[in-house]
């Protein structure tokens, strides 16, 4: 079995799937596409994002398609991803490699399968649908690879090669538990916070009108992402998100204690200087860290 | 007294003051500048942001400067703003109009003065210093005008005309209490949350490395703003910020109850559908509202 990818099938031609298809097609790969929603397939064909659309997933295990496809990439919301992986049971443990693109992984639990690898290409947008495809969305970005089912080396290499060669991404191997905790802090919690902030303004009696200056615009952008995907992420990764939120509540309380002067202040320092030091420290950490 | 502005003095030539100076100078106004930090004056002269630098604030009340200046704009952090306004006591109740640019206003309490108007040009950047001056920073943006000292109509019109004509901004009159509560929700709380989120990652044992995808990048940008300015804003507006935070905690708890299924769910709906509906509602509100 070669670990080189010439032909892919994308299941789920939303913004992410279509961006992967477009980049792969521009690199000379053959791209099949499938979507429950027929109009997404039509758009993808019209906009030359895919070469060919499948009418049903049954075609995958039938010739000539079954001989043609090297790699299947599933790009649907997290809960549907598990359903699709189960529906592909007929091609488990074949030479076709299967991967997916969810931002959360711990719900993907399968037994006795050796050709499924998990991927998380780290890039996103608040846009959706195949018309929002962007061939450069993943260029030079990072892709986390998880191999919880101990897939064979050839399958792992095939997935890594695809992301590196066709999408021009960097890859990093990580365990599912490490992945889900890190992204709870760096992605899921920030989105939860953005939804909560916009919700609190929605519920407030104060009319904010068009006074959305300062920081709010970033939160507005974040809270515009696909609600179905975020519902799945929040429910699947709730344990790690609550851990991350607990850490953040400690930091909020530390800032509040400084702001309201309830913390015991060393004699030599005013609380305002302490708050400035704290903010400088956060800024310095950030500049070193990321 | 004319309500037309031909000559301004900017006190505090940081990123905001320098951006105002540059825009006004490009519109043909004469621009004086003063800064406690001499190197800021030098940079502003070298980069043609101001025509002339003052050596001391005493020059303002002496001829020929005193006859020349129509409007003084103070652009320093909130606590210093109050100090500078008090230091300008000699020109209180003269024909020179005085305004400032703070994001928080309730600490500016003065008696028996008729030529001080408060302004809040709504735009910002995580950059600082006169080299970061941007003549277009305020173009087409909004400027909140507060008149807590019941300044004379001519002074109010002079300030409004300046922002409209020289900076091409829209203006809106608002009370100080309304201003501080709205911006607690739309600007101060989002920044506090960004500082707290970055702080919680700093304090966590988990190494996040370069996995700063998704929402975190926006928070990193927000938490890069001037720590001294934010220390002042957080301490001065703590009451309204705590009100806004309390509202947001309610929204966080609502989301957590949906995520963790602790809320009593109507029979016809799964909690996952409820969460999706809630997220859709937030998204719809946002699209209508801003």
Evaluate the CA torsion angle A252, A256, A259, A263 in order and state its sign. Answer: negative
Q: Report the residue from A197, A208, A245 with minimal CB separation from B182.
A: A208
ipTM of the complex: 0.86
Going across the sheet that includes A170-173, the strands are A118-121, A142-146, A170-173
Bigger pLDDT: B211 vs B79 = B79
Q: What confidence tens digit (pLDDT) does each residue in B17-48 have?
A: 999 999 999 999 999 999 999 999 999 999 99
Q: Is the pLDDT of residue B205 over 90?
A: no
- B179-289 architecture in CATH? Orthogonal Bundle (1.10)
A179-259 CATH pick, 3.50.50.60, 3.40.228.10, 1.10.3660.10, 1.10.275.10? 1.10.3660.10
pLDDT of residue B208: 80
Q: Is the pLDDT of residue B286 over 90?
A: no
CATH 3.40.50.720 residue ranges of chain B are 7-177
What residues contact B239, with CB distance under 8 A and at least 6 apart?
none
Where does B126-226 have alpha helices with state H? 153-161, 176-183, 189-203, 216-222
How does the average pLDDT of chain B come out, rounded? 92
Residues of B in contact with A173 (CB under 8 A): none
Q: Is the pLDDT of residue A259 over 70?
A: yes
Q: What confidence tens digit (pLDDT) does each residue in B77-107 have?
A: 999 999 999 999 999 999 999 999 999 999 9
**Looking at residues B189-194, what average pLDDT do you find?**
94
B141 touches chain A (CB under 8 A): yes
Bigger pLDDT: B184 vs A263 = B184
A289 touches chain B (CB under 8 A): yes
How does the average pLDDT of chain A come out, rounded? 92
Q: Hey, are the CB atoms on A255 and B235 less than 8 Å from each other?
A: no
Q: Is the pLDDT of residue B214 over 70?
A: no
pLDDT of residue A265: 62
CA B126 to chain centre: 12
Distance CA A279, CA A264 (A): 18
Q: Is the pLDDT of residue A9 over 90?
A: yes
A228 touches chain B (CB under 8 A): yes
Quote the Cα angle for A42-A44-A46, to 5°.
Answer: 65
Q: What confidence tens digit (pLDDT) does each residue in A78-127 have?
A: 999 999 999 999 999 999 999 999 999 999 999 999 999 999 999 887 78
Which residues in chain B (3-22) have CB-CB distances under 8 A to chain A?
A: none
pLDDT of residue A266: 65
- B273-280: long-range pairs with CB below 8 Å, 24+: B275/A231, B275/A234, B275/A235, B276/A227, B276/A228, B276/A231, B278/A199, B278/B254, B279/A195, B279/A227, B279/A230, B279/A231, B280/A227
Put residue A270 in one of left, alpha, beta given phi > 0 → left and psi -120 to 50 → alpha: beta
Q: What confidence tens digit (pLDDT) does each residue in A128-174 have?
A: 899 999 999 999 999 999 999 999 999 999 999 999 999 999 999 99
Q: Is the pLDDT of residue B266 over 70?
A: no
pLDDT of residue A119: 98
Name the CATH superfamily, with its identifier, for domain B7-177. NAD(P)-binding Rossmann-like Domain (3.40.50.720)
Measured in angstroms, the CA of A120 and the nearest CA of chain B are apart by: 11
CATH 3.40.50.720 residue ranges of chain A are 7-174
CATH 1.10.3660.10 residue ranges of chain A are 179-259
The CATH class of A7-174 is: alpha beta
pLDDT of residue A125: 79
Cis-peptide into B32, omega within 30 deg: no
pLDDT of residue A213: 67
| Residue A173 host element (H or E) | strand A170-173
Binning pLDDT at 50, 70 and 90, where does residue B50 land? very high
CB pairs under 8 A between A and B: 257
Q: Is the pLDDT of residue A199 over 70?
A: yes
């Amino acid at each position: 079995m070669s670990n080189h990818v010439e032909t892919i099938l994308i299941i789920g031609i939303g913004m992410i799937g279509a961006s992967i298809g477009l980049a792969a097609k521009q690199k000379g790969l053959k791209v099949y596409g499938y979507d429950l929603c027929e109009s997404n397939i039509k758009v993808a064909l019209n906009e030359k994002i895919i070469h060919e659309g499948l009418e049903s997933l049954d075609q995958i295990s039938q010739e000539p398609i079954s001989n043609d496809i090297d790699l299947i990439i599933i790009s649907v919301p997290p809960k549907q991803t598990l359903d699709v992986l189960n529906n592909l049971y007929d091609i488990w443990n074949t030479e076709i490699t299967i991967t997916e693109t969810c931002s959360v992984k711990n719900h993907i639990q399968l037994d006795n399968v050796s050709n499924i690898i998990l991927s998380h290409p780290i890039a996103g947008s608040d846009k959706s649908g195949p018309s929002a495809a962007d061939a450069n969305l993943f260029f030079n970005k990072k892709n986390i690879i998880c191999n919880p089912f101990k897939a064979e080396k050839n399958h792992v290499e095939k997935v890594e090669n695809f992301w590196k060669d066709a999408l021009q991404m960097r890859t990093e191997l990580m365990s599912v538990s490490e992945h889900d905790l890190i992204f709870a802090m760096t992605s899921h919690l920030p989105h939860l916070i953005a939804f909560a902030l916009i919700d609190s303004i929605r519920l407030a009696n104060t009319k904010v009108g068009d006074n959305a200056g300062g920081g709010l615009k970033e939160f507005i952008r974040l809270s515009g992402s696909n609600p179905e995907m975020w519902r799945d992420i929040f429910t699947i990764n709730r344990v790690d998100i609550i851990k991350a939120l607990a850490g953040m509540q400690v930091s909020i309380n530390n800032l509040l204690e400084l702001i309201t002067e309830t913390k015991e202040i060393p004699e030599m320092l005013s609380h305002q200087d302490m708050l400035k030091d704290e903010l400088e420290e956060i800024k310095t950490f950030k500049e070193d860290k990321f």
